[in-house]
Amino acid sequence: MIDLWDDFVKARYQPERKPEEFRQFTEEAPSVVKDFYRQNHANQTLDFVLGKEREYLPLRKKRMSIWETMEELNKLVDDSDPDTDLSQTEHALQTAESARADGQPRWFVLAAFLHDTGKILSSFGEPQWCVVGDTFPVGCAFSDRIVYHDYFRANPDWSRDELRTECGIYERGCGLRSVHMSWGHDEYLYHVMKPYLPEEALYMLRYHSFYPCHKEGAYQHLMDDHDREMFQWVREFNKYDLYSKSHSKPDTAALMPYYRDLAGEFLPGQIQW
């Protein structure tokens, strides 16, 4: 019976779209996507990020279950993403079911299901430009491998000489643990889930939107050997997050009992956000 279910999952959750169809960040992209990145790149400064870390990382905003979080997230339409129009729960299920179909570990499947729940930041009044979208280091030069790189010219840090060098405020090879990333759902969820998931899963959550690094190869000079080892998991996760996107809706009612059981294996009923 298990083999039959595995065969069904593998058949149902094969990618429907070619890799080159995703992440088309061009001048022909929807204006809402370009407007999002224009605001994001202008406002994600080092000082802004440090302020958000002070505000959120004590994790005192709210206590709620994962299911309350998912329900709230379904109200969000991600302006940064040109690749899907499904709800946040439906995208979470697409991603997790693709990983499950490949026989990934249970912690991996759960991380895939949870990976965007940090977008709950939007329910705390945060604008989308500091919740979603590709992430990148602040406090050093903005890589030209970041999408819509020219929009950074409106960022005050562009004109700060000490932040325009390759390493900026960091030491070469310092490790990403010492680097401040642009503020958004990845960084926030990493801190929320730190007590509950293995390090491999935490890397997946923290850096899954760090496309300039794991897809384009930028910022290698800030990484250490441990980062490079862990990034195999980030790249492995990315193929499920990105390439599982399709317009076919998963059967949420049928799948949720499995994910409730899976979440109960790793997470408490109430989580501090």
Mean pLDDT by 10 residues, the chain (273 residues): 37 45 54 94 98 97 96 81 72 95 98 97 95 97 97 98 98 98 98 98 98 97 98 96 70 96 98 98
pLDDT given for residue 19 in this prediction: 46
CB-based contact 262:201 (threshold 8 Å): no
| pLDDT of amino acid 151 | 98
Place of tokens 């809706």: 249
Res 29: pLDDT = 61
Give residue 78's pLDDT: 72
Q: How far is CA 68 from the centre of its chain?
A: 19
Q: Which of 201, 190, 45, 66 is nearest to 130 (CA)?
A: 45
Q: Where are the domains of the chain?
A: 43-272
By DSSP bridging, strand 271-272 and strand 63-64 are antiparallel
Round to whole Å and give the CA distance between 234 and 218. Answer: 15
pTM score, whole prediction: 0.86
The amino acid present at 198, given as its one-letter code, is: P
Which CATH fold would you assign to the domain 43-272? Hypothetical protein af1432 (1.10.3210)
The torsion angles phi and psi of 272, rounded to 5 degrees, stand at -85, 120
Question: In whole angstroms, what is the distance from residue 169 CA to residue 185 CA?
Answer: 24
**Tell me, what's the pLDDT at 87?**
84
What are the helix (H) ranges across the chain?
2-12, 31-43, 46-56, 66-73, 88-101, 106-114, 185-193, 199-207, 211-214, 225-243, 252-266
